[in-house]
Structure 1
Amino acid sequence: MVRIALACLAALSLAACTAGYSGGVEPIRGSITYNGQPRTKLTKAPIGSTFEHTFNDQYGRPVVETYRIQPDRSLLLIHRYVRIEYF
């Protein structure tokens, strides 16, 4: 009985942690999906393909993000890194 209660509690806790989050990386200012999905859809790109988007963050550092095209043609941000430039 205790095991069942603990299993239910664990399942509810996990569901609460992932509610409202679609996976991937959370967008930041400058991300393509920062204010939601873009209005235009990538109709010619194959589903599942990836592409990179580069922009400067609020500190002027170059940020590179990788997006994957989902089956509904929406974009999923799957990876982000800050490019370190040595002068």
Structure 2
Amino acid sequence: MIQIVAAAMMAVLVAGCAVTSVSYSGEGYAPIPGSITYGGQPRTKLTKAPIGSSFPHTFTDQTGREVEEIYVIQPDRTLLIVQRHYRPFLAWSRR
């Protein structure tokens, strides 16, 4: 009996890990100064990158904080900001 329950639980866990694509249905984050899409989409299209792929972009905002954004390439080749992280400001780490 315990083996059957364990096997069922394992099957549920493995099925949950089998996600192969992620869909973002929202509009994403609004661009801020320093974002790749601030002021509009880039003029060049990312033609070689697969649709749905993501990449990071790190920059310093106007207040001096380090920001990391994650972009996803949409089917129309525009970029969507799906995550934004502000790194903590550590005065002794700056030179």
Common topology (TM > 0.5): yes
Q: Secondary structure at the match of 2:32?
A: coil
Superposed CA RMSD in Å reads: 1.2
Matching residue of 1:18: none
In structure 1, runs of 5+ residues without a counterpart are 1-21
Q: Percent identity?
A: 64
Give the Cα separation in 1 of the matches to 2:50 and 2:82: 17
**In the alignment, does 2:68 pair up with 1:64?**
yes
Counterparts of 2:28 and 2:50, CA distance in 1: 19
TM normalised by structure 2 equals 0.65
Given residue 62 of structure 2, which amino acid in structure 1 is its aligned partner?
Q
Q: Distance in 2 between the 1:50 and 1:70 partners?
A: 10
Does residue 75 of the first structure (1) align with residue 72 of the second (2)?
Answer: no
Q: Distance in 1 between matches of 2:30 and 2:78?
A: 15
The count of corresponding residues between Structure 1 and Structure 2 is 66
Whole-Å separation in 1 of the counterparts to 2:53 and 2:27: 17
Aligned to 1:44: 48
Length-normalised TM-score, structure 1: 0.71
The alpha-carbon deviation at position 61 of structure 1 amounts to 1.1
